[in-house]
Amino acid sequence: MMEEKIYETLNEIFRDVFDDDEIVVDAKTNSDTIEDWDSLEHINLVVAIEKAFGLKFSMDEVTGMKDVGEMVEIIKARGTKLED
């Protein structure tokens, strides 16, 4: 799947979860750049991303992902079924 498409989907999820239409995520976006991104919102992101891409993250992945770039790498590696 195209990286661009993944970012597009992630961007939409971030905007919904944080209820902020200004958000534009890139590879370096992390919990320091988004103020409300705490551990409780992290799980909400995880659930929304899993649903959107039809995948399950492992516990290691959930705790390991430090920024959006790492999320995208995991999603790409899974070769997920997001329809275009």
- Closest approach of other proteins to the CB of residue 71, in Å: 16
17 in contact with other proteins (CB under 8 A): yes
CA neighbours closer than 13 Å in the CB half-sphere of residue 39: 2
Footprint of other proteins on residues 48-77 (CB under 8 A)?
48, 51, 56, 59, 62-63
**3-11, 15-23, 27-35, 64-72 -> range binding other proteins (CB under 8 A):** 15-23
